[in-house]
Chain A
Amino acid sequence: MSTAFLFAFTFITPVVIYVLHLGPKLSIMTAAGLILAGNWIRFAGAHSSSGGLFGVVMFGQILTGLAQPFVLAAPTRYSDLWFTNRGRVAATALTSLANPFGAALGQLIVPFWVQSPSDVSSMVLYVSIIVRHPLSPSPAFGSLS
């Protein structure tokens, strides 16, 4: 699954370059849509009483993996667009360091939720719910272009 994620990363890179060329807003919205779709698809695959569907989970994970380059590369573009030279460093650093911070957060919190395989689907549900919140429409979506 991690390998598929990395391959997805490689696969999507040209698209990311193109989309970032169109603007950070489009990139962010693409990432948001991919994350949202990927999470719920993954939940649909993992939540099953008769056992999950691994292919569905894999597909959702690949969608999530496709979303990551969009937001990984967006901070520089965004700060270039909206910040001056002074604030650009801090803005880029904040958004870029949020990425490893989120990984650390996930690896810290998720083990508390998941003790056995039966907890996995509920964990996926929790994460899907959490993920939904930053993706809700905000004033920034109208102004990120």
Chain B
Amino acid sequence: MVPQVGQCVSPTTIFSITSSSIVNSSLRRPRYLSVGIAFLGLGSRRPGASCLSVRLDSLNLETYLYQLSLKQGEALRPSLPCSAVLARSSACAFPAPRSCQNRTRRIGSLALSDSQGRRTHIHRSAARLVSGEPWLYRRHNFSSLFLGSPSLSPTRPAMATAEGKGATTTPATATKATSTTRAANTGGSEYVIEGEREEEEEEEEDTMPGGHGGGWQQLKDEKKGAAAGITRGSGDDDLAIEMQETRSSRATTGTAAALAAGAAAADAGEGGTMPGTTEYRVYKRRWFGLVQLTLLNIIVSWDVSLALVFFFFRFVRPGYWIRETFPQRHINGAPAAPGSGRRDRVPTFYTRRSRRVGWPGFLLVAYAVPIDRATFRAQQR
């Protein structure tokens, strides 16, 4: 069932692979279930897009990179050697060795570009996976729990990095920072991981409106570099690919190549970034979630309002207090109370067992019996 790495498979196959791996992994380790779910539907629907499929073993996290060819008859070759990805990810098994942790970073969405300049973005969690960052590494410390973690914003644009000092200094720097594409000297294809947040050494103010503050600090300590590109390895590295850590302000890429990549991205409909401005990618599918959240809110409060109905029919129902306070049960030979014979027709949770209230209650009932008859008759209609 599992195709060869790099083989062109259909999205359905990828879905089945992913879901079966989720089932397998959840049977063994339920707490890894959410990891697998996050990777459902990763593939972009555009031709030439690559899809990342994740198989969770009991210990090893394996990453497969499949090529999606959605056009009829078109088969694009994988632009990243998938064996490299495999080597990379299997080296960072759970729990990740320290050598892998050192290279981990929070990165933005993973921009995959093929030889024809088309680029696509996949989920940033996938990008994190490719980069080898361990998933479940006590990400939820106190600060990230209450201040928000940047890993929660997958759609923060990888290209809109007009935050921090990297983009506000000069337009040229911003242009460099927005496209970290490396020169295509390694066979015409490259993989670029664009950092959403270009890390600086100094403590800069967090200008994101989402207030993602705390989660970054821990990572700033971990690494020295920033937005990095996965390039094809030169062979001296043991993992065959390495995470090149570059700083955004440094912008090691050539300006011409960066501009070309930016133009290609703009052609692909992802929107270019004007220097000094912040542009966000928005998706149409967000309206689905909005509608769903609205409906969910409506029905939840509807449900909650039902508690009032139960309350009403249990405590405020006409005749309830009369029957509750009527001490007839405790008096031998007393005449049957109105409605007592029909009591079993009423669901029991609307009624309560009578309490001993004594003669004051009886006086109250003697006053209210005609009312009770009328209301009970109306109730039986």
Contacts and interface: CB of A to CB of B under 8 A. Distances in A.
Interface of A: 1-2, 5, 17-18, 21-24, 26, 28, 31-32, 35, 38-39, 42, 45-46, 48, 50-54, 57, 61, 64-65, 67-68, 71-72, 74-75, 77-78, 80-85, 87, 91, 94-96, 98-103, 105-107, 110, 114, 116-118, 120-121, 123-124, 127, 130-131, 133-135, 138-145
21 contacts: A2-B311, A22-B34, A24-B289, A51-B344, A52-B350, A74-B293, A80-B153, A80-B209, A81-B154, A82-B155, A83-B282, A98-B301, A99-B298, A101-B297, A102-B297, A102-B305, A118-B347, A120-B347, A127-B302, A131-B299, A134-B295
A-B interface, 7 closest residue pairs, ranked by CB to CB distance from nearest: A54-B349, A140-B288, A102-B298, A134-B295, A106-B302, A51-B348, A106-B305
Given A52-B349, A138-B292, A140-B285, A106 B306 contact: yes
Interface stretch (B82-90, B140-148, B235-243, B333-341): B140-148
A140 B289 contact: yes
B309 A103 contact: no
A31 to B, nearest CB: 6
A67 B300 contact: yes
If over half of B's interface residues share one DSSP class (helix, strand or loop), that class is named, otherwise mixed; here it is helix
Nearest to B151: A23
B152 interface: yes
A118 to B, nearest CB: 8
B362 interface: no
Contact of A101 (B152, B290, B298, B306): B298
Contacts of B308: 2, 107
A82 B282 contact: yes
B312 to A, nearest CB: 9
A1 B288 CA distance: 33
Contacts of B280: 84
